[in-house]
């Protein structure tokens, strides 16, 4: 899930929102603005909508707090986390690698529901204090709603099924007991698919029973859980296939580098660059990596500006590209490679580019390893 709009950084973590967040904010606002008159009639319509908007946006802030807690605890446990995206069904903290131990997995997963639970308590106390001080009844109702929805978020996320936080907790426990992170992932993802199908069944039952909107949302969440759990299981099997494979075994070695000062026009006119590969490492005057430029991005520059535009202006900065060493584990590169804007990694050795790894390279070596395994099984 890629962000449509980047809001900035919070505690060093880039925060973005997907356009679908607008949908959930509008739905929550409309739902609250329709509910308030039933509980406290006689207020102006604008008051119901104003409090509804404020409550919906505050909920998104509490959801952000849930996700930022994952990112911060992940960093403290040696897992790189540099982006959070809020979207229709919640939020996603992008972790660049796997937790190094069951204990780290437990801490990273457990902090999210804990933060939501603390938010529920805080909003509940605020509602009580506001009511005791004879504050606005609409504000009390909104605070009580925020308390309840954060409690629901904490409970739902604690269900032992991937990709929910509870699925991570289940994975940590099974990993600790069995010593196998792959088996732990298999158990958590299987639980995720079971929960997903259960939600779909309940959703359809509610929809046919007349609660169309509630049933629809439950079914959508269930389908999301099924898809996410299936994808996570596939990634676990891929990591098993690539176990023991180094980055150098998949990379394209000795890539042709281009200077950062080279103009886009010169780059596109030179056959060495235009026809050999689709992306090239960009280096500064001292030969240090500065980024990666794709032929597609360069070709998007208008012809009348190509000769005055340097590659440094259109390249993807090296900070946004995975930069493994040749002897790093290829399996550990997978999460970062998926999140890379160019879906490529720049392999560095002693600060110099020595190779490029693409998702196609990984697919190629995976197919080869899988076929060799199948051939070995048939031979036996």
Active site residues: 67
Residue 337 and residue 222 in contact, taking contact as beta carbons nearer than 8 Å = no
Interatomic CA distance for residues 267 and 310, integer angstroms: 9
Strands 352-358 and 344-349: antiparallel
């020595």: which residue's tokens? 354
Interatomic CA distance for residues 266 and 284, integer angstroms: 16
Sheet with 252-253, edge to edge strand ranges:
252-253, 352-358, 344-349
Interatomic CA distance for residues 77 and 336, integer angstroms: 17
* Count of Cβ atoms closer than 10 Å to residue 290 Cβ: 23
Interatomic CA distance for residues 275 and 282, integer angstroms: 17
- Beta-sheet strands, E only, within the chain: 5-10, 13-17, 81-87, 90-95, 252-253, 258-259, 279-283, 289-294, 316-317, 344-349, 352-358
Residue 65 and residue 153 in contact, taking contact as beta carbons nearer than 8 Å = no
Alpha carbon of 354 to those of 86, 180, 286, 293, 365: distances in Å?
36, 34, 15, 16, 19
Interatomic CA distance for residues 206 and 228, integer angstroms: 23
DSSP 8-class letter at 246: B
Residue 267 and residue 293 in contact, taking contact as beta carbons nearer than 8 Å = yes
Q: Is the peptide bond before 163 cis (omega within 30 degrees of 0)?
A: yes
């Amino acid at each position: 899930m890629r962000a449509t709009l980047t809001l900035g950084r919070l505690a060093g973590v880039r925060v973005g929102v997907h356009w679908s967040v607008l949908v959930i904010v509008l739905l929550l606002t409309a739902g609250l603005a329709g509910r308030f008159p039933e509980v406290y009639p006689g207020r102006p319509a604008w008051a119901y909508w104003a409090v509804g908007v404020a409550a919906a946006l505050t909920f998104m802030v509490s959801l952000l707090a849930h996700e930022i807690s994952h990112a911060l605890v992940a960093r403290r446990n040696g897992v790189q986390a540099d982006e959070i995206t809020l979207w229709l069904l919640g939020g996603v903290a992008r972790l660049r690698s796997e937790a190094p131990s069951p204990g780290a997995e437990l801490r990273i997963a457990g902090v999210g529901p804990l933060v939501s639970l603390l938010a529920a308590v805080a909003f509940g106390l605020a509602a009580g204090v506001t009511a005791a001080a004879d504050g606005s009844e609409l504000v009390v109702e909104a605070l009580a709603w925020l308390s309840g929805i954060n409690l629901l978020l904490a409970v739902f996320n604690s269900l032992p099924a991937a990709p929910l936080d509870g699925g991570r907790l289940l994975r940590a426990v099974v990993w600790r007991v069995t010593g196998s992170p792959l088996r732990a992932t298999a158990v958590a993802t299987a639980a995720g698919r079971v929960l997903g199908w259960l939600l779909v069944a309940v959703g359809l039952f509610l929809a046919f029973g007349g609660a169309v909107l509630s049933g629809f949302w439950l079914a959508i969440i269930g389908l999301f859980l099924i898809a996410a759990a299936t994808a996570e299981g596939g990634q676990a099997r891929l990591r098993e296939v690539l176990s023991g494979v180094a980055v150098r075994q998949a990379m394209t070695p000795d890539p042709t580098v281009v200077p950062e000062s080279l103009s886009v026009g010169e780059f596109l006119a030179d056959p060495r660059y235009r026809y050999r590969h689709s992306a090239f490492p960009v280096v500064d005057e001292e030969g240090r990596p500065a980024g990666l430029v794709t032929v597609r991005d360069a070709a998007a520059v208008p012809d009348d500006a190509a000769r005055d535009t340097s590659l440094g202006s259109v390249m993807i900065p090296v900070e946004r590209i995975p930069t493994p060493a040749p002897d790093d584990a290829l399996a550990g590169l997978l999460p970062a490679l998926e999140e890379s804007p160019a879906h490529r990694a720049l392999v560095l050795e002693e600060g110099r580019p020595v190779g490029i790894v693409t998702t196609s390279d990984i697919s190629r070596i995976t197919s080869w390893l899988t076929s060799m395994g199948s051939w070995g099984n048939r031979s036996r």
